[in-house]
Each structure stands twice: as C-alpha cells, then as structure tokens.
Chains A and B, each alone.
Chain A
Amino acid sequence: MTTPGTRPPTPTAPGTGVAVENVVKRFGAVQALGGVTLTFPPGQVTALMGENGAGKSTLLKILTGDHQPTEGRVLLDGAPVSFASPQDARKAGIRIIPQEPEIIPHVSVAENVYAGSLPRKAGRRLDRAELRRRIHADLTRLGFEKVIDPDQIGSELTPAQRQLVEILRALTGDAKVIAFDEPTSSLAENEAEALFALIGRLRAQGIAIIYVSHRMKEIFRLADRIAVLRDGASAGVLDAAHTTEGEVVRMMVGRDLSSLFVRQDVARDEVVLELDGVTTDDVTDISLRVRAGEVVALAGLMGAGRSELGLALAGDRPLRSGRITLDGRPLRLRSPKDAIGAGIGLAPEERKAQALFLQRSIRDNTSLVSLERLRRMRFVRSGQEKAVAQDFSDRLRVRTPSIEHEVRKLSGGNQQKVVLARWLLRRPKVLILDEPTRGIDIGAKAEIYRIIADLARDGVALLVISSELPEVLGLADRVVVMQNGRITGELDRTEATEESILNLAMADDLAPLDAAPAPAADRPRTDSAHGGPR
C-alpha cells in the first residue's frame, strides 16, 4: 500500500468548476434552452430543478458532451471547452452518473470499473495481479474499501452498487464534475443514505456536484445551492440554507396557460369507471372514479406509477387486490382483450413501441381493434373498412395522401391521431390517454386537445396521464396526483394550480429518512430494503 489511506479534503487542482454561458439549444424549430447561464462551483452540491421539459436533461447532455450547444459556451475551470462526444467530456473530467449505469454482467466489479483500460500482460492477457493492486489502491485512496467488494460479479449488483461502480469509474478517471440524474429513484432508503454520505465525501474532495432530483427533502438535505430552470431558461439560483420548498416550487412554475384548450362542462353524473383499492406490482391502493364526459388527469412525476396504472386498467398488468367497476359491474381483466371487450381503451405512452404497426397502412392500424365489427364470417369487409378508416382519418385531419400509406411515414402528431382514430372507431366507454401529446408540435397538440374535448362531449370517460402541467390544468375537470405508486391527493379544477399539483407530486414520503439512524455507509449492505413497513 503505497498511497496514504486518506487525503486532505482539498481540491486536486484549484479550479472554478464548470459553467455554462448563454447556452442556447435548438432541435429543429424547437428551442430547448434559451440562453442559460449557470455556474457549478467545486466543492459544492448544486441542485438542478425544474418541471419535466424545463431543460434539465438538455443542459446535462450539453455538459457531458451528448449534445453541442447551438449558441453559447461551456467553461471548465474558466477556460472554454467544446466536447464533440461524451468521451471528450469524460476525458476532461466531467462525468454523469445515469439512473441505470451500464454494467457488464459477467465480470467483476474491478473489471467493470476499469473496462476499456484494463491492465494487460504481453499477448493481450488480462493482468489480474495488477488489476487487483490497482483496485485496492484506488478503493483505499477514495475511502471506498468497505463499501464494495471488487470481486463481486456485475449481474449480482444492486442498483445502488451499480451507481457506485459508475462513481468509481468517474473517480478513477479524476473527475472534476459529477452529475447525478435522479439517483435515488431506483434506490431503497438505506441505499440512498449511503449515497448521500458518499456525495458528502465527494464534495469534501472538492468535486463540483450537480444533483438533479424532484425530491425536495433530498435537495434540502444535500444541496448548497438550488438552480431552477423554467421553460429552457434559468429562473434563478437560491441559497439552500435560506430558502423554502414553497419558494422553489413558485420559481419552477408561474407561467400563463396557453389558449389551446377547449373549456367545457359536459361531465354527467353517472360514474363510468370506478377503482377501489387497486393494487398491482407498481401501484398501491388506488381509488378513483371517472364520470361520463369527465376528463380526469393523472398528474405526477415520471415513475410515479401512472403509466403502470393505465396498463393495469387496460388489462395488461394483473391486479393483486382491489376492484375495477365499469358502469356498476365489477370487471375481471385477465388480458387487454378483456379490457377492450368491456369498453376500456388505452393509447399508451410509447406510441411507436406500444401502439403502432409502423409497416402497415393507416387503414390497417385504424381498424385493428374493431375488426370483429368489420367482418363477415372471418373475412374483413374491405370496402366498409376503407370507408370508416377514411372517415376517421378525415375527421381527425390525419395529414396523408392516402390511408393506404404506411404509418411510419407520418409525423409524430399524425401517428398519434391514427392511434386516436383506432379508439374513436372502437367507441370505448373509457379511454386512457398516456402522454397524448408527447413529442408532437404545438399545432397537432391543439388538434388533439380538440379531439379530447369532442370525446368528452360524446360521453366518454377520459383518463389523461400527462407530465405537462399546463396540459393537465387546461384539460382536466379533476386532477389526481400520484407519487411512488400511490395517490397523494385529488384536486378539483378550481383548486388545481401548478403549484398545488407539484406540491402533491413531490410530497416526499421518505419521512423515515430523517429519523433514520446513522447511515450504513461503511457496513456491507444487506438486502433488507424490501418488504419493510411503510
């Protein structure tokens, strides 16, 4: 052991951290960042906050070389840098710890850490002795020797250990800046605690830390500074010691709603869909009701379990307990076929992966779930099929020269309209729309809002899952907010504001975290995280 076990907590090199200056990023006509200037100083944890779509990911990707800024520049230790690729940024000392790091499953932690630059003997053979010496030296130098076993195999690692491997990769590469992207979303509480302790240590070593998270409690525990992005611009930087959750939320929201929405009151009294204590592998104790003609929005952050609830209602996820009632009759959904038969339709989150047959025509895609009404014996009545597909394609204004065109040739907005046409033709009683306007342009968005309004007027019970708060507020008669697979609140249209929704969506239920005893950072972890009392 040649290197000393500990190091004084001083920066490895005097630096000013990383900064962006007037960074603009456009994707085609869409502006993701509109002139952001922010500094991430060394030895400090800077939390990066903002709504979905505020530009956090884009900014991270620019810092880590995944994207190049359209305008403006990135400064590292005061000098302008330009990264052509993530490899460039990594070499310069900027690392990102993704939520799910790439781990090679069948090799050891040590080999994972040095993957790509493994020590070799002559003839390209792995130098195991040197590998062992190096990993022990690095683990000791970094104070990690009791946290992870270098001989453990990649596939056996827990999510927390996977992140640890990624952090080790960063540190052995002399990182100056480490960005964490929602690191705790896949971690259990004790694992999160270990991570927080580790981040504290990294900060003491003088590393600039960027911490992206939606969880207020974590932010206020860890962060020195809180930088808020809104609509692709910096809304301000707050000193974490002298601010409140409320102030952060206010800074994150606060924009006027566009006039894209068709406002109407067509909800009737009869309850169409009723969930009572629905529990699946992903969601817990969900109770809600949707009336005919009512638009209920499911709000929450990504990973709150909303899409999974949608899939459960579409018969694609088994219920552990609870009851789904449609028009007063209890349903037993064993497959999507049952759900469609009962009158529940789902336009899923990933329309290309989950809904569309890209190689098939608009006609085929539209008629697929209604074929049993369009056939005689088992023969599809093609004249009638063409007529109805054309009719719906016209009514939804799908822009295409012919309904015989392959769906893959359409734009995202028109593809989404084909998915909607499929369900309009089927006429379900309940239609679940998961992120109906994700990734489509503003004109198509407005058209889809109009279609949703028309459906409500026809008495369809609508459940809209959306991560865009203006959309939620513009569409919904009622907003149900979820977090971590549970409903954390329900807001009437009159009560719902971006602020009230965000407060419920981020209502941190990691309450025991504060009361938890000393972190288990330097004890070997045991797998006791699951099934503990909530």
Chain B
Amino acid sequence: MTTATTSPAETGKAPEKAHARSPLAALGGQNLSLIGALVVVLGLFGALNENYLSWSNIQVIAEAATITGLLAVVQTVVIICGGLDISVGSQAGLASVVSAMAFTSAGSDPYLGMGAALVIGVLVGIVNGVAIVYGRVNPTIATLAGLAAYKGVAQLVSDGRAQGYVLNDPVFVFLGRGKVAGLPVMIWILIAVAVAVHVMLRYTDIGRNLYAIGGNDTAARLAGININKYLVAVYALIGVVAAVAGILLTARTGSGQPVSGSEGLELKAITAAALGGCALKGGKGGVGGTLLAVALLGALENGLTVQGINTFWQNVAQGALLVTAVVIQQRRNGERAVGLPH
C-alpha cells in the first residue's frame, strides 16, 4: 500500500487493491461460534432422532424460521442504529388481518390485499418512527406501546378472530406453498430481503450512516447525517418487512391472524439479533450473524418439538438465550458492574 495519488482529493482513479482475506477471518469469531452451536444442535438432535436431519424436516425448520428471519433481519437494522422495535410481532399480525380482509372485500384481489397490508405497514412504521424521533419517546417504550396498540387494532378490525380465506387464490397459495428451483417461495423471499438489507448495510453510504448513527449519534449529527430522517425511514422499513411477514403468515395459514402466529415474534427477532452479534447499544452487527442465529433458534425449537418437549420449556430456553447472549456481549465490552447498564 505504498503507492498513493499525489493530488489529495482527486476522486478519479485509484489503484484497486486485491484484498485476499482468509474466509475464516471474514466470518468472524461470533459467527464461528454460532456455526459451532448450530452443528452441535443439529448433531445432537440428529443423533436422538433419525428423521431430524431429513431433507423434509430441514425444510420444515427453514419455513418455520422464515417469518422470524424476516423480522430479525430488520430488527438488526434498527438495533444497528441504536433503536429497538418490539412491536414487530403486532405489526405482522395487523398486516396479516388487513391482507386477508382487504383481499376478501376487494372481491378476491390478492394484489389489493397485499398492497393494503404494505400501506398499513409503512404507516405503522412511520408512526413508530415519528413518536420516537419527534415525540422524543424512548424506542423501547414507544414500540412497547405499539406492541399493545397494534395488536388491539388487529383484534378490533378482525373481531378477534381469524378472518377471510385466501387459499382459493393461486397467488397466496404460491406464496405459502409454492416452490421455485426446489426451494419454498417463502425462503426465496427471506433470501431476497436479507441480501438486499445486507448489501445496503455493507456496500452503500446509507449503511455507513446507519452504523455511524448507532455508534455515536452526536458525532453522526456533526458529520452532517440527518439522523431523524434515517430513523423514521428505518422504522418505516420495519413496517414494510413486518407487513411482508404478515402476508406470508396469511398465505401459510390461509386466513388473516390477528394474534396467533405473530405473538412472541418480537422476542425471537430480538433474541436472534442479539445472538447474531448486534450490540444492543448500537453501531455493531450484521445480517449474516442474525441469520445464523435464526437458523440456530429454529433448529433448537424444532428439535425440542420433535423430542416432545413441552413448549413452555421452549419459552424458558428462549428467554435464557437472550439474556445469555447479552451477558456475553457485555463481558466482551468490558462493561463495569455498577448501577444500571446503558
């Protein structure tokens, strides 16, 4: 790296550097330990039950993890910029109900149903963002309020029951049950969203600015980043992706589900992001780690179910995992054990 253009800010040509980092180093220690844990989980349940590692069960795991995965990917984005969204599950539930009901009342037009859900998603996201940014509400509190309120709205419009029936429509059937190149459509959607978010975080100036906002908001502001605009946009993005998750929920179950199917997804999403290496105070994390954590959680959940372990215990395991992930993070950061953490 000795050559350097002599004129300072010349932005014309610069020598491309071949950067050959070893693939292991590129993965990072956090991801390696996740892969290790995943191998252990797969090996353990595979040894206990021969069907666990069958291709059909792996597809079951993947499909079950898709909706969590979508929410975890966008949760990663908001955590990177120092926020949090615990209303994602309720947002997905609301979108699910809206998609099914709009579909029905529009005379079985699937695109109208999905469009309505996406619009609601954007609106709900903007409401979250505006409350946080301009209302100066702590993100946890604002979205805790959203968690309750959006669930309530979903129950109000649906009367608290599953609404509509969409499995007479080929588009919904394709989304929920279809396959492309041997993989379920739902998985393709997750891959598409994850790749798009990954590219945004990793290779665009938008991503740089999001990391900057979460890393040091004062410095980000003084570096000319419009923090407010970015945060509202991030919450709107969450709304859209949560709406996609809600639509998939409708397509999977055949009808709009106000609560069942979406409740508790926020916990899974946040757990996956934290396990995947997102620093909960912002500035750090990535899609890769989150997806690995989603896979780990999915494999664990499925394995426990296959082994016939009570779902209540699964909740306990999930809560314990979230706290453990954060404890490990704080240890690594050398956080001192005095007073309340930030």
Could you say which residues of chain B place their CB within 8 Å of the CB of A394? 4
B interface list, Cβ under 8 A from A: 1, 4-5, 8-9, 11, 13-17, 203-206, 208-209, 211-212, 215-216, 218-226, 279, 283-284
A383-B14 in contact given A358-B215, A360-B215, A391-B4 (Cβ < 8 Å):
yes
Tell whether, in the assembled complex, residue B283 and residue A357 are in contact, meaning their CB atoms are under 8 Å apart. yes
One of B9, B222, B226 near A316 (C-beta < 8 A) = B222
Is A337 positioned at the interface, with any CB of B under 8 Å from its CB? Answer: yes
9 closest pairs, A vs B, by CB? A387-B14, A337-B224, A371-B205, A340-B224, A391-B4, A357-B215, A384-B14, A383-B16, A378-B204
Is A379 positioned at the interface, with any CB of B under 8 Å from its CB? Answer: yes
Tell me, in angstroms, the Cα distance from A383 to B15 when the chains sit together. 7
Tell whether, in the assembled complex, residue A357 and residue B5 are in contact, meaning their CB atoms are under 8 Å apart. no
Tell whether, in the assembled complex, residue A374 and residue B212 are in contact, meaning their CB atoms are under 8 Å apart. no
Query: What are 29 A-B pairs with beta-carbon distances under 8 A?
Result: A314-B222, A335-B226, A337-B224, A337-B226, A340-B223, A357-B211, A357-B216, A359-B284, A360-B215, A364-B211, A369-B223, A370-B9, A373-B11, A374-B11, A378-B204, A380-B204, A380-B205, A380-B208, A383-B15, A386-B14, A386-B17, A387-B4, A387-B15, A388-B5, A388-B9, A390-B1, A391-B5, A392-B8, A422-B223
Tell whether, in the assembled complex, residue A424 and residue B16 are in contact, meaning their CB atoms are under 8 Å apart. no
B333 to chain A, nearest CB (A): 10
Tell whether, in the assembled complex, residue B218 and residue A354 are in contact, meaning their CB atoms are under 8 Å apart. yes
Could you say which residues of chain A place their CB within 8 Å of the CB of B203? 379-380, 382
Tell me, in angstroms, the Cα distance from A369 to B218 when the chains sit together. 14
CB nearest neighbor in A for B12 = A384
Tell whether, in the assembled complex, residue A348 and residue B8 are in contact, meaning their CB atoms are under 8 Å apart. no
A interface list, Cβ under 8 A from B: 314, 316, 335-337, 339-341, 346, 348, 353-360, 364, 367-375, 378-380, 382-384, 386-388, 390-392, 394-395, 422, 424-427
Of the listed residues A335, A353, A422, the one surrounded by the most CB atoms of chain B closer than 10 A to its CB is A335
One of A336, A339, A360, A426 near B212 (C-beta < 8 A) = A360
CB nearest neighbor in B for A351 = B219
Tell me, in angstroms, the Cα distance from A424 to B9 when the chains sit together. 8
Could you say which residues of chain B place their CB within 8 Å of the CB of A364? 208, 211-212
Of the listed residues A368, A380, A394, the one surrounded by the most CB atoms of chain B closer than 10 A to its CB is A368
A357-B204 in contact given A387-B15, A424-B8, A425-B9 (Cβ < 8 Å):
no
Of the listed residues B5, B208, B211, B220, the one surrounded by the most CB atoms of chain A closer than 10 A to its CB is B208
Tell whether, in the assembled complex, residue A355 and residue B283 are in contact, meaning their CB atoms are under 8 Å apart. no
Tell whether, in the assembled complex, residue A427 and residue B9 are in contact, meaning their CB atoms are under 8 Å apart. yes
A425-B8 in contact given A335-B224, A359-B283 (Cβ < 8 Å):
yes
Could you say which residues of chain A place their CB within 8 Å of the CB of B4? 387, 390-391, 394-395
Could you say which residues of chain A place their CB within 8 Å of the CB of B11? 373-374, 384, 388
Could you say which residues of chain B place their CB within 8 Å of the CB of A427? 8-9
Could you say which residues of chain B place their CB within 8 Å of the CB of A380? 203-205, 208
Tell whether, in the assembled complex, residue A336 and residue B224 are in contact, meaning their CB atoms are under 8 Å apart. yes
Could you say which residues of chain A place their CB within 8 Å of the CB of B209? 371
Given contacts A355-B223, A379-B204, 11 further A-B contacts (CB under 8 A): A353-B218, A357-B220, A358-B215, A360-B211, A371-B209, A374-B205, A380-B204, A386-B14, A388-B14, A394-B4, A395-B4
Tell me, in angstroms, the Cα distance from A307 to B211 when the chains sit together. 27
A502 to chain B, nearest CB (A): 31
Tell whether, in the assembled complex, residue B221 and residue A316 are in contact, meaning their CB atoms are under 8 Å apart. yes
Tell whether, in the assembled complex, residue B212 and residue A357 are in contact, meaning their CB atoms are under 8 Å apart. yes
Tell whether, in the assembled complex, residue A375 and residue B5 are in contact, meaning their CB atoms are under 8 Å apart. no
A181 to chain B, nearest CB (A): 25
A336-B223 in contact given A378-B205, A425-B9, A427-B9 (Cβ < 8 Å):
yes
B302 to chain A, nearest CB (A): 35
A454 to chain B, nearest CB (A): 10
Could you say which residues of chain B place their CB within 8 Å of the CB of A374? 11, 205
Tell me, in angstroms, the Cα distance from A339 to B11 when the chains sit together. 22
Could you say which residues of chain B place their CB within 8 Å of the CB of A383? 14-17
Tell me, in angstroms, the Cα distance from A373 to B226 when the chains sit together. 17
Tell me, in angstroms, the Cα distance from A13 to B330 when the chains sit together. 51
Tell me, in angstroms, the Cα distance from A340 to B225 when the chains sit together. 10
Could you say which residues of chain B place their CB within 8 Å of the CB of A359? 215, 279, 283-284
Tell whether, in the assembled complex, residue B224 and residue A341 are in contact, meaning their CB atoms are under 8 Å apart. yes
A336-B221 in contact given A359-B284, A378-B206 (Cβ < 8 Å):
yes
Tell whether, in the assembled complex, residue A354 and residue B283 are in contact, meaning their CB atoms are under 8 Å apart. no
Could you say which residues of chain A place their CB within 8 Å of the CB of B8? 388, 391-392, 395, 424-425, 427
CB nearest neighbor in B for A375 = B205
Could you say which residues of chain A place their CB within 8 Å of the CB of B223? 336, 340, 355, 368-369, 422
